[in-house]
């Protein structure tokens, strides 16, 4: 199982995350494309850092919402979503190509990611963008208790899917992550984060927030590196996964 991280989310003089510390620990970098965070220089530096550590490059497009960090849904038409995904992916791919790299997948960010998982029209717009892209790109999407519809839509567009789980988030009984506004939605205890990561890696069920067992298919595990504590958790997850192997 691979580890992925949302990264390259600084902007101008404002720094977000400990990218240099977390990059050596992950396998896949979800790089912000400038709509919710990141700028051309940050994108370029993040691509260089990822390539230096042999990390796979992925685009992390969002709604055009810098002020809200891409966490607010926007009333975009499907053709607008398709265009904004193509725009962001194209910008990052051009930077990646200039550095000798290429993108392998797309993981939408924040509200766009959540809307994609709840609204078939949003998912279809994103998949249409990936289908039309000159690059062969996979879609990284949330694994839930039933991934049949997601797999079917991806197959219809000829887009491979990477099923993602979260080490530090609580889940409801249907396999969706719980809203950040809900108490207990985000785990702070490193031990609990590592334990959930190990369960995913071993193919074992986790416990939903309501106390029921939940079994998820997982190709890649999302981790975070936005503070010293989270970086230590990623180190512990990496060590635990290596022990399982």
pLDDT tens over the chain, length 245 residues: 899 999 999 999 999 999 999 999 999 999 999 999 999 999 999 999 999 999 999 999 999 999 999 999 999 999 999 999 999 999 999 999 999 999 999 999 999 999 999 999 999 999 999 999 999 999 999 999 999 999 999 999 999 999 999 999 999 999 999 988 888 899 888 889 999 999 999 999 999 988 899 999 999 999 988 888 889 999 999 999 888 87
Residue 206 lies in a domain: no
Residue 213 lies in a domain: no
Residue 233 lies in a domain: no
Residue 24: is it exposed, middle or buried by C-beta count within 10 angstroms (0-12/13-18/19+)? Answer: middle
- Residue that is written with structure tokens 């504590």 in the block: 229
Residue 200 lies in a domain: no
- Residue that is written with structure tokens 């108490």 in the block: 183
Residue 232 lies in a domain: no
How many structural domains does the chain have? 1
Cβ–Cβ < 8 Å for 30, 113: no
Residue 241 lies in a domain: no
Residue range(s) defining the domain that contains residue 116: 2-166+218-224
Residue 46 belongs to domain with CATH number: 3.20.20.370
Residue 13 lies in a domain: yes
């Amino acid at each position: 199982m691979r580890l992925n991280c949302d990264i390259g989310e600084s902007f101008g003089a404002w720094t977000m995350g400990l990218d240099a510390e977390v990059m050596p620990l992950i396998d896949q970098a979800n790089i912000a494309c400038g709509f919710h965070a990141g700028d051309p220089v940050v994108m370029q530096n993040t691509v260089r850092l990822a390539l230096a550590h042999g990390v796979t490059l992925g685009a992390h497009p969002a709604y055009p919402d810098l002020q809200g960090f891409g966490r607010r849904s926007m009333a975009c038409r499907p053709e607008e979503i398709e265009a904004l995904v193509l725009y962001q992916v194209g910008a990052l791919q051009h930077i990646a190509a200039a550095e000798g790299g290429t993108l392998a997948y797309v993981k939408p960010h924040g509200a766009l990611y959540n809307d994609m998982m709840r609204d078939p029209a949003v998912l279809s717009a994103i998949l249409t963008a990936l289908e039309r892209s000159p690059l062969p790109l996979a879609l990284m999407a949330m694994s839930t208790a039933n991934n049949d519809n997601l797999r079917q839509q991806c197959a219809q567009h000829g887009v491979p899917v990477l099923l993602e789980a979260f080490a530090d988030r609580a889940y409801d009984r249907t396999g969706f992550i719980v809203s950040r506004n809900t108490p207990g939605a985000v785990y702070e205890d490193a031990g609990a984060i590592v334990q959930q990561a190990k369960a995913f890696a071993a193919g074992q069920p986790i416990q939903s927030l309501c106390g029921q067992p939940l079994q998820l298919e997982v190709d890649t595990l999302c981790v975070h590196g936005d503070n010293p504590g989270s970086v230590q958790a990623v180190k512990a997850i990496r060590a635990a996964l290596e022990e399982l192997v």
